[in-house]
Amino acid sequence: MSSDAASPTEIEAPSAERWHAKRLEDIYETLETSEAGLDPDEARARLERHGPNEIEAEAGTSPLRILLEQYSSALIWILIVAAVVMAAVGHTIDAGVIAGIVVFITLFGFAQDYRAEQSIQSLQEMATTYALVRRAGEKREIDARNVVPGDVIFVGAGDAIPADARLLEESNLSVDEAALTGESVGVSKEVGTVDEDTALADRENMLFKDTVVQRGSGAAVVVETGPESEIGQIATALEEAEERDTPFETEMDRLGKIIAGVVIFAVGIIAFAELIVGDTPPLQVFLTAVGIAVSAVPEGLPAVVTLSLALGARRMADQNALVRRLPIVEGLGSVDVICTDKTGTLTEEEMTVQRIHANREVYEVTGTGYDTDGEFLTDGDPVDEERVAEVLRCGMCCNNVDVGTREQDDTEAGTEGTGEGGDKKRTYLGDPTEIALFVAAQKAGLDHGELTEAYPRLGEVEFTSGRKRMTTVHETPDSDVVAYMKGAPETILERCDRELVTGEIVELTDERRGEIENANETFAEDALRVMGFAYRPDVPESQVENPDEDLERDMVFLGLQGMLDPPRPEVPGALAGCLDAGIDVVMITGDNAVTARAVGEEVGLRSTRVVTGPELEEMSDEELRDVVEDVDIFARTSPDHKTRILQMLQAKGHTVAMTGDGVNDAPAVKNADVGVAMGIRGTDVTEQASDIVLLDDNFATIRDAVKGGRRIFDNVRKFVNYLLSGNGGEVTMIFTGSMLGFGLVITPIQILFINVVTDGIPALSMGVDPPAEDIMERDPRPPDEGVITERIVTSIVGIAIFMTVCLLPLFTLNFYGELIPGYDVLGAVAGWSPDYDPSRELAQTMVFTGFVVMQIVRIQAVRFRYGLGLFTNRWLVIGILVSITLQLLVIYTPTGQFLFDVEPLALVHWAQIAVAAVVFALLMAIFVKVQDRYFDRY
């Protein structure tokens, strides 16, 4: 870069730089700074140019706007218009009921959406409040928002790093980058240069904004601030993330527009036929139009859909899946790819010692996580713990884990056991690797308290990333002094000249060194994280109180311990269930390829082809498109990689569920068709960006959520079919009656009662229908297949026609009975009383009641193909009984008769309705068989 380009006013955007791959001299030149830091005046000038070191968030959505957005659905506006029309013609009861439904739907939606996405604001809240910088050669504490590129910063244990920076110096520096990379193990930092294509998680010479220093200290030069930092770019990606409607939301809106079109068309035909061609009074035409509008609108549908989704979401919450957006529940049913994290989702997120090499033998260690129950096996047979006691004692003594208690819901560290009263849990506080060594020693019966008392620590040579080892000095029960060392196997081995074999110290020959190195390689090939252990029984007196590296020689090799974050025991079965259901599972992890492949093989991924982050960066979009469906494991990935994988899968036509926990995952989670956040270890940012939060961080819960989503979708499809077929019958009846000159065959308030009450209650009960037996044996439904399929359309049309065919004769018989030839003979055979007087009110009552009775037939016609009998859902039986009871109260009570303009029915009327219902049932049975021949079952 030329000197002109390097001027402070024209520094390239940090995101375009590969700061980790540059020499420090080049960074100083590019940023026009030095080890002494910036001059205060220059820092102020840069702050003016670059802006504050913070992530700017868009203004939040106001409550008023959220409320107004509830009225964007065409279906809501149809209901509003219907209520206004009812009020205009004096039907205030009808208008009041519809208006009440509108208010309920909008308030419920408002309550859900009020917890709108606050991802940017959450990122902003993560900002540090101060930073220690060097300016003009002097250290000073400043507001972290005033840090600028070129500042030299200082960090220590517990500090949140104020900006992205290149490391200048460090002392035993380890940083927790879980919020950015998703990996729980701290990252040791080193000064130096790394390759340009090094993955984000492997950039050991970089510090990143809002990550936290675990131990040690360091100094670094700031290279990126605010929106140009890694976390700032994530915020930008979240801001630009497209708000995606679920297919169900889109279809409900489309359905409202279709219904509006049907109303306009039907009313237009009636108006033309009766006003222009015929001579029907305008008021009658108007009332008929109102009847068409009310019958076409499924007033109960929004309430039933909302409540059914809410009930489904509650069931899912009981299974540890918290739904943040109700409509997404049905979207789970079409998921055909699940992109999941490894750590904590597929695995326990508890490092566990699984294999030990000691006494020239290999021992398997049973038990997982932080459970202290376990055995030591050779060829499957238990062995005496004494054979591994020395290497385990070394691992517990040379260890800085603390044991304490925390509140039961605190999940920041490993826990084991419950304290008195169940309020507290025993917990291990420290590095996950050291916790694994600590727990392994407890499996051999070593007690931390007793060991600390018997082997008090006298001194320590601390671990650093450069030394790759740690040594502690202890007094033994015999008042001797011993040194224990642990660290990288190659580092430990090169400092040993002897080894301990069955209690005896023997020479460490070159042959044995080779065997130990081979054992280390074997452990590593099985994705085990390996540590070596040694001790020195003859500690010089000069090294007791102030030990140094001179102590770490002439050591006695004790053995190796290999550890792994094991898969959750329920994951293989859950993953197999997903594959059986036609759902591919893809692991996307920041861990290395060897570990990722080993975990993938153990949990049963379809294939174990691995693509790493650097390999992904070298692929063009076309190359990635060709292989993305064949790769089940992506390792060493960055936030951009995760989003790119997601978008490529979506471009290939897949419906993708994406899991995430760290801040780095938030853009991918938000852009996914179904975003899934981890409730235990997840950040607030990712939870706000998600649709569903897993309360137990368990992959098996995703499988259960998919099953729950499919069940809910089946139930939604059933009651949509049920309600719309009823509406179709009402529209067809009114339209046909009007075209035949019968006028209104059923009144608007009667239609409203059917739609909201006598149909709505059973429909709501269908929302808790049990799942079909084969629900997880089907392939996911295609993403472009909505709730309403061709089969459902034919079902709605068929039911509407058959109901009209069966109910129109009831109206004709009871309104025009005296004009029908043979009517008197029919009356005599039926035993009608001489004073039986057909009338419009009676005829409308017959149609009204016929609709209610035929609901039982309609319900089973809709549910039959799911293999469900009437009595498989007791709430549905109760719902049907309640709706029939309410219908009887309407017909046989004075209040009901007054409000709904009905007449009480005699036995002969019920006989007519029964005959019509039987005919309808026979027609539906034949129709369902015909549908099975031409359409898929589901």
* pLDDT (tens digit per residue) in 820-866: 555 555 455 444 444 445 578 889 999 999 999 988 888 888 888 88
Mean pLDDT to the nearest integer, 308-312: 75
pLDDT at 249 over 80: no
Inter-CA distances, 748 with 204, 291, 751, Å? 73, 5, 5
Tokens of residue 603, six digits: 């949990």
pLDDT of 609: 82
pLDDT of 919: 95
Antiparallel, parallel or unpaired: β 692-694 and 321-323: antiparallel
Tokens of residue 691, six digits: 């649709």
Q: Which value, to the nearest 10 degrees, does the dihedral of the CA atoms of residues 194, 200, 201, 203 take?
A: 20
pLDDT at 705 over 50: yes
pLDDT of 520: 92
| Percentage of residues of the chain with pLDDT beyond 70 | 80
With cut-offs at 50, 70 and 90, classify the pLDDT of residue 126: very low
Over the chain, what is the mean pLDDT? 81
Distance (Å, rounded) from C-alpha 500 to C-alpha 360?
A: 9
Tokens of residue 515, six digits: 């065997």
For residue 570, count other CB atoms closer than 10 A to its CB. 13
With cut-offs at 50, 70 and 90, classify the pLDDT of residue 245: low
Distance (Å, rounded) from C-alpha 282 to C-alpha 275?
A: 7
Mean pLDDT to the nearest integer, 528-542: 92
Query: If you search the block for the tokens 């030394």, which residue do you land on?
Result: 467
pLDDT at 22 over 60: yes
Mean pLDDT to the nearest integer, 903-931: 91
Strand extents, DSSP E, 88-197:
130-135, 138-143, 152-156, 164-176, 187-188
With cut-offs at 50, 70 and 90, classify the pLDDT of residue 116: very low
pTM for this model (two decimals):
0.66
With cut-offs at 50, 70 and 90, classify the pLDDT of residue 605: confident
Q: Could you report the per-residue pLDDT of 429-441, keeping only the tens digit for each?
A: 778 889 999 999 9
Mean pLDDT to the nearest integer, 299-305: 67
Burial (0-12, 13-18, 19+ Cβ within 10 Å), 508 = buried
pLDDT of 319: 84
Mean pLDDT to the nearest integer, 283-291: 63
Distance (Å, rounded) from C-alpha 878 to C-alpha 858?
A: 16
pLDDT at 922 over 90: yes
- CA 8 to the chain's CA centroid: 44
pLDDT at 417 over 60: no
**What angle in degrees, to the nearest 10, is found between the helix axes of 855-863 and 699-739?**
140
Mean pLDDT to the nearest integer, 9-26: 66
With cut-offs at 50, 70 and 90, classify the pLDDT of residue 764: confident
Catalytic site residue from 94, 164, 341, 769:
341
pLDDT at 754 over 80: yes
pLDDT at 447 over 80: yes
Q: Of the spans 175-184, 255-264, 709-718, which averages the highest pLDDT?
A: 709-718
Question: What is the H or E stretch that residue 360 is in?
Answer: none
pLDDT at 664 over 70: no
Q: Could you report the per-residue pLDDT of 340-350, keeping only the tens digit for each?
A: 888 778 888 78
Q: Could you report the per-residue pLDDT of 488-502, keeping only the tens digit for each?
A: 999 999 999 999 998
Distance (Å, rounded) from C-alpha 394 to C-alpha 483?
A: 9
pLDDT of 555: 95
pLDDT at 790 over 50: yes
Written in H, E and C, the secondary structure of 710-777 is: HHHHHHHHHHHHHHHHHHHHHHHHHHHHHHCCCCCCCCHHHHHHHHHHHCHHHHHHHCCCCCCCCCCC
Among the listed ranges 24-33, 459-468, 482-491, which one has the minimum average pLDDT value?
459-468
Mean pLDDT to the nearest integer, 9-32: 72
**DSSP structure class, residue 552:** S
Distance (Å, rounded) from C-alpha 421 to C-alpha 483?
A: 41
pLDDT at 102 over 90: no
Q: Is 341 a catalytic site residue?
A: yes
pLDDT at 424 over 50: no
Inter-CA distances, 252 with 247, 265, 327, 570, 797, Å? 9, 20, 10, 37, 19
Inter-CA distances, 577 with 332, 334, 759, Å? 15, 15, 36
Tokens of residue 667, six digits: 């853009």
pLDDT of 141: 85
| Percentage of residues of the chain with pLDDT beyond 90 | 28
For residue 453, count other CB atoms closer than 10 A to its CB. 10
